[in-house]
Amino acid sequence: MKVLVPVKRVIDYNVKVRVKADGSGVDLANVKMSMNPFDEIAVEEAIRLKEAGKADEIVVVSIGVKQAQETLRTALAMGADRAILVVAADDVHTDIEPLAVAKILAKVVEEEQPGLVLAGKQAIDNDMNATGQMLSALLGWSQGTFASELDIDGDNAVVTREVDGGLQTIKVKMPAIVTVDLRLNEPRYASLPNIMKAKKKPLDEKTADDYGVDVSPRLEIISTTEPAARAAGIIVGSVDELVGKLKEAGAV
């Protein structure tokens, strides 16, 4: 079985995000970019499926600016076999919406015929939490979202999902789209020899036009602003003082 893993290049989760003064967006020039943390988990899961003999090839795909190449190389260094870069934007500040990403991914799926797509549950920049579900709808495939456990068993996958009430386990028909949550696994670090080897692994470059997908946005960004700041608080000296303050504020 072939596994397809879409990986997104996003601002590193440790970077403090700065909103541009003119309200046009978030400053992404010269900041550290990394693979979306959820996507590292998806890549790791694909590698584990391969190690367990349940997958034979892992193809990673990224849609965005040319620099997403680095993200794909990271995935190759972790253990993916092959990469596809779909260039759909020139400016690092242009983000492609989940609907357009899903449409491109649907075309890639048509070409590659994977038995499973493993995506992240959300990208930490836009937090939209949508791409996997949209892809699943476009393909008419089953979906298992927010997975914290995944067990592939022939024609079915058993997916344990992290939901508001606790955990839900469902059985989905293959081929399936599974989106991964944080506790599915602990992704490995790429070793230096593997980083070197990754440079020789195949990386195909395509454009959105190659797939005939219109990536023009449906949502127009009117403004991006800083959230309202909280008023400064105080440090209390003792539990007694804390209890006093809370009583004063009517909080207890």
Partner 1 sequence: MAVLLLAEVTDGALALDATAKAVTAAAKLGDVTVLAAGASAAAAGEEAAKIAGVAKVLVAEDASLGHRLAEPTAALIASLASDYEHIVAPATTDAKNVLPRVAALLDVMVISDVSGVVDGNTFERPIYAGNAVQTVKSNDAKKVISFRTSTFDAAGDGGSASVETISAAENPGLSEWVEDKVAASDRPELTSAGVVVSGGRGVGSEEDFKLIEGLADKLGAAVGASRAAVDSGYAPNDWQVGQTGKVVAPELYVAIGISGAIQHLAGMKDSKIIVAINKDEEAPIFQVADYGLVADLFDAVPELMEKL
Ligand X SMILES: Cc1cc2nc3c(=O)[nH]c(=O)nc-3n(C[C@H](O)[C@H](O)[C@H](O)COP(=O)(O)OP(=O)(O)OC[C@H]3O[C@@H](n4cnc5c(N)ncnc54)[C@H](O)[C@@H]3O)c2cc1C
Give the residue with the Cβ less far from ligand X, 198 or 248: 198
Compute how many residues bind partner 1; rule: CB under 8 A: 79
Please, which residues have CB within 8 angstroms of residue 52's CB and are 6 or more apart in sequence? none
Q: Give dist(CA 182, CA 228) in Å, integer.
A: 29
Quick one: tokens of 165?
């009430």
3 state DSSP class of 135:
helix
Is residue 153 a contact point for partner 1 (CB under 8 A)? no
Q: Give dist(CA 216, CA 196) in Å, integer.
A: 37
* Least distance between ligand X and beta carbon 54 (Å): 20
Quick one: tokens of 140?
């008419």
* Residue 192 interacts with, from ligand X, partner 1, none (CB under 5-8 Å by kind): none
Is residue 219 a contact point for partner 1 (CB under 8 A)? yes
- x/- mask, ligand X, residues 122-161, rule CB under 6 A, reads xxxxxxxxxxx-----------------------------
From residue 234, alpha-carbon distances to 124, 204, 221 in Å are: 31, 56, 37
Is residue 20 a contact point for ligand X (CB under 6 A)? no
Is residue 64 a contact point for ligand X (CB under 6 A)? yes
Of 1, 170, 195, 203, the one binding partner 1 (CB under 8 A) is 170
Per the CB < 8 A criterion, the answer to whether 32 and 15 are in contact is yes
Is residue 39 a contact point for ligand X (CB under 6 A)? yes
* Residue 187 interacts with, from ligand X, partner 1, none (CB under 5-8 Å by kind): none
Q: CA torsion 90→46→117→168, rounded to 10°?
A: -120
Is residue 213 a contact point for ligand X (CB under 6 A)? no
Instruction: List the interface residues with ligand X, window 94-123 (CB under 6 A).
Output: 94-98, 101, 119-120, 122-123
Is residue 33 a contact point for ligand X (CB under 6 A)? no
Per the CB < 8 A criterion, the answer to whether 185 and 48 are in contact is yes
Q: Give dist(CA 4, CA 108) in Å, integer.
A: 9
Is residue 173 a contact point for partner 1 (CB under 8 A)? yes
Is residue 31 a contact point for partner 1 (CB under 8 A)? no
Per the CB < 8 A criterion, the answer to whether 72 and 39 are in contact is no
Of 110, 199, 204, 236, the one binding partner 1 (CB under 8 A) is 236
Q: At what angle do helices 98-112 and 131-139 cross, to 10 degrees?
A: 50
- x/- mask, ligand X, residues 78-97, rule CB under 6 A, reads ---------------xxxxx
